[in-house]
Amino acid sequence: MSEIRTNWTKEEIREIYDMPIMELIYRANTVHREFNDPQEVQVCTLLSVKTGGCPEDCAYCPQAARYHTDVKVQKLLPVDEVIQSAQEAKDAGSTRFCMGAAWREVRSNRDFDNVLEMVKGVNDMGMEVCCTLGMLTEEQAQKLKDAGLYAYNHNIDTSEDHYDEIITTRDYKDRLDTLENVRKTKLSVCSGGIIGLGESVMDRISMIHTLATLPEHPESTPVNALVPVEGTPLEEQPMVSTWDMVRMIATARIVMPKTMVRLSAGRVRMSYEAQTLCFMAGANSIFAGDKLLTTPNPEVDMDKELFQILSIKPRPSFKKGKEGVHFDQIPSAVEHNKTQGIEVAE
């Protein structure tokens, strides 16, 4: 059995990233099979519950108020509308529902109280609930957890060195502090980044190194390919190649064997064959639904067809690792799985 290590060096990670691509995919797939069911892929749905008007300056983001994009500013959605969307996502086969807000940070106010209601409602439906709301204190993380949150997404986005080229309105340490606050409450941690921001290969290695040397690996790591949006400073960035996505996913899989590696933004421009290579390289999670937060994603029917071709089965909610030992913190959801006839080991 390969070891779970948090002491990787950048040199070791670079050696993995630079392997001949077929060797890299083979190694990543071997690690993947050791720790995960290779036929199982997690299906998550994203919903932007508060869109646009964000005060931050993330150079990739269509929701930053200072850039002139087509995104229409929308205040927080009503709770019942969000629950309705979660129900539709569940009916379409999603087991994780991720709510995103174009906020710099969580403010403890009426909007936050409404988000807590949304979390409670979606958790009661038996879905894993995830939020991505910007920076968070430990106290706010605890409130979310108490409401039934399962995971919190906060990306480091790129390397510490490249970070200042992309975001100036908060620093790298703020991001790591939020991850630490989330970890302290024992919420599941989701953190990854984006490629195609004009970073070097060493920046990519450095980003993976930061994630893989956290005291505990994130339970999920999204690998996003930049979706260049007109009006943002990165609108002219060239398309990320499939080979680069495969290298990132395979490297993340090898150094963080148990982590759910999510093939995230950018899938809309990938063929079935390109996505298949990503699954072989160890990706085991996707966002489904024809929209991410504000940009397009493949049609649900296309994903269904791809899953059929590859005999992939969606991963049930609240499952932890290959053996299917589920998280013990949300009993109502566990009960739900049983009533749905989803087999989970106790």
Give the footprint of ligand DTB on this chain (CB under 6 A): 46, 62, 98, 100, 132, 153, 155, 192, 222, 224, 227, 264-265, 292-295
Shortest spacing between CB 293 and ligand SF4, in angstroms: 8
Pick 60 or 150: Cβ nearer ligand SAM? 60
Check if the beta carbon of residue 205 is closer than 8 Å to that of residue 252: no
44 is catalytic: no
Largest Cα separation within the chain, whole Å, is 53
Pick 229 or 254: Cβ nearer ligand SF4? 229
Check if the beta carbon of residue 230 is closer than 8 Å to that of residue 261: no
Check if the beta carbon of residue 60 is closer than 8 Å to that of residue 232: yes
190 is catalytic: yes
Pick the catalytic residue: 183, 247, 262, 315?
Answer: 262
* Residue 155 in contact with ligand SAM, rule: CB under 6 A: yes
Judged by CB under 6 A, the stretch of 23-31, 153-161, 206-214, 248-256 that binds ligand SAM is 153-161
131 is catalytic: no
Q: Which 3 state secondary structure label does DSSP give 290?
A: coil
Q: β-strand 188-190 against 193-195: which pairing, if any?
A: unpaired
Nearest to 58 by CA among 72, 45, 74, 69: 69
Among 220, 224, 259, 284, binds ligand SAM (CB under 6 A): 224
* Residue 103 in contact with ligand SAM, rule: CB under 6 A: yes
CA distance 308 to 306: 5
Find where tokens 């629950």 sit.
83
Pick 131 or 342: Cβ nearer ligand SAM? 131
* Residue 233 in contact with ligand SAM, rule: CB under 6 A: no
Pick the catalytic residue: 44, 175, 183, 190?
Answer: 190
Shortest spacing between CB 299 and ligand DTB, in angstroms: 15
* Torsion region of 335: left, alpha or beta (phi above 0 gives left; psi -120 to 50 gives alpha): alpha
154 is in the binding site of which of ligand SAM, ligand DTB, ligand SF4, none (Cβ under 5 to 8 A by kind)?
Answer: ligand SAM
Give whole-number Cα distances, 197 to 169, 239, 284, 318, 338, in Å.
17, 10, 24, 33, 43
Shortest spacing between CB 276 and ligand DTB, in angstroms: 21
Shortest spacing between CB 194 and ligand DTB, in angstroms: 8
Nearest to 57 by CA among 173, 170, 208: 170
Give whole-number Cα distances, 18 to 67, 236, 314, in Å.
36, 27, 31
58 is catalytic: yes
CA distance 182 to 213: 16
Name the DSSP class of 269: G
262 is catalytic: yes
226 is in the binding site of which of ligand SF4, ligand SAM, ligand DTB, none (Cβ under 5 to 8 A by kind)?
Answer: ligand SAM
* Residue 100 in contact with ligand SAM, rule: CB under 6 A: yes
CA distance 121 to 125: 7
Pick the catalytic residue: 44, 96, 130, 247?
Answer: 130
Q: Count of H helices and E strands in the chain?
A: 12, 10
Judged by CB under 6 A, the stretch of 98-106, 114-122, 311-319, 321-329 that binds ligand SAM is 98-106
Among 60, 172, 307, 318, binds ligand SAM (CB under 6 A): 60
Shortest spacing between CB 199 and ligand SAM, in angstroms: 13
**Which residues form the catalytic set?**
54, 58, 61, 98, 130, 190, 262
User: What residues line the site for ligand SAM (CB under 6 A)?
Assistant: 60-61, 63, 100, 102-103, 132, 134, 154-155, 157, 194, 224, 226-227, 229, 265, 293
